[in-house]
Amino acid sequence: MIADLFAGIIKLVSGANPRWVGCNPEERQRIYFANHTSHLDAVVLWATLPMSLRIRTRPVAAQDYWTKSKMRFYLASKVFRAVLIEREKVSLKNNPLDLLLKALQQGDSLIIFPEGTRGNGRDIQPFKSGLYHLAKKMSDVEFVPVHIDNMNRILPKGEVLPVPLLSCVSFGESLRLADKESKSDFLERARLAIVDLKQS
C-alpha cells in the first residue's frame, strides 16, 4: 500500500515511462542492470515495474547513502526493500556478492548498477566484475539491460533538489553468460547492450 503510493509519487516526479523494447514484463527471476547517473535511479527503475513484479524486485543500493537519515533508512528497508551494500570498507565479512546471492536464492529479482558509481550521463563507464560473478553463479537468471534516460538532469551528482523533467526507462533483450565467454567479453557485451538501448 505505502509502496504503491510511493511508486506512484516517484513516477509522477520523474515522469518515468517504461518502454519494453527487448522483453516483456514477465514474472520470472531477473537481474535488471542499468546505467547509473543519479541517486534516484534505483527507485525510478523499481517504480516503473508493474506492481506484480515490483514486490519481488529489490534494488541494490549504497549503504552509506541510504542509512544517512532515519527517513532514507525506512524507505530503503521497508518500502522498496533495498539490498544495502558497503562501498568503502569491503571485507570478507561483508562481501556484497554474498548479500546479492542470498537475495537471489530467496527467489527475488535484483536491480544493480554495474558501473559502481554515478556517471555524467553521456558515457557509460566500464562495468565492475560483480555482474560476471553473478552470471557465472546464477546461470538460470535472466540478465536484462536497462537504460535510464534523463535522470542525470533530474537529480545530478552533487545536487539535492530535483528538477521535474521527464525520464524514460527502456528494457532490452535479456542476455546470459555464453559458453567459455571471458569476463571482459561478457562485461563489455552487457555494457554495449545498454549503449544500444540508449541509441534506440
Partner 1 sequence: MTLHTDKETVWLVGGVIALLTLASAIGFLLSKSVKSEGARATVKNLNSRTRAWWVMVIVFGIAMATGGIGSILLFGFTSFMALREFITLTPTTRGDHRTLFWAFFVVTPLQYVLVAVDWYGLFSVLIPVYAFLFLPIRSAAAGECENFLERTAKIQWGLMICVYCVSHVPAILNLRIPGYEGQNGKLLFFLVLVVQMSDVLQYVWGKLLGKHKVAPTVSPNKTWEGLLGGTLSASLLGGAIFWATPFTFWQAFGISLLITFMGFGGGLVMSAIKRDRGVKDYGTLIEGHGGVLDRVDSICFAAPVFFHLIRFYFT
Judged by the rule CB under 8 A, the positions of this chain that interact with partner 1 are 15, 17, 120, 150, 152-153, 156, 159, 161, 163-166
Helix (H, G, I), strand (E, B) or coil at 73: helix
Q: Which helix (H) or strand (E) holds 60?
A: strand 57-62
CB of 170 to partner 1, least distance (A): 14
- With respect to partner 1, which residue has the nearer C-beta, 165 or 192? 165
- With respect to partner 1, which residue has the nearer C-beta, 14 or 174? 14
The whole-angstrom separation of Cα 176 and Cα 143 is: 6
- With respect to partner 1, which residue has the nearer C-beta, 11 or 133? 11
CB of 166 to partner 1, least distance (A): 4
- With respect to partner 1, which residue has the nearer C-beta, 63 or 150? 150
The whole-angstrom separation of Cα 78 and Cα 4 is: 12
H helices of the chain, in order, are 2-14, 41-48, 51-54, 63-66, 70-74, 96-105, 130-137, 151-154, 183-199
- Cβ-proximal residues to 116 (8 Å cutoff; 6+ apart), any chain: 36, 87, 125, 128
CB of 196 to partner 1, least distance (A): 17
CB of 156 to partner 1, least distance (A): 5
CA angle (125 as vertex; 23, 79 as ends), nearest 5: 55
CB of 126 to partner 1, least distance (A): 22
- With respect to partner 1, which residue has the nearer C-beta, 91 or 199? 199
CB of 12 to partner 1, least distance (A): 11
Instruction: Centre a 10 Å sphere on the Cβ of residue 120 and count the other Cβ atoms it contains.
Output: 10
- With respect to partner 1, which residue has the nearer C-beta, 111 or 151? 151
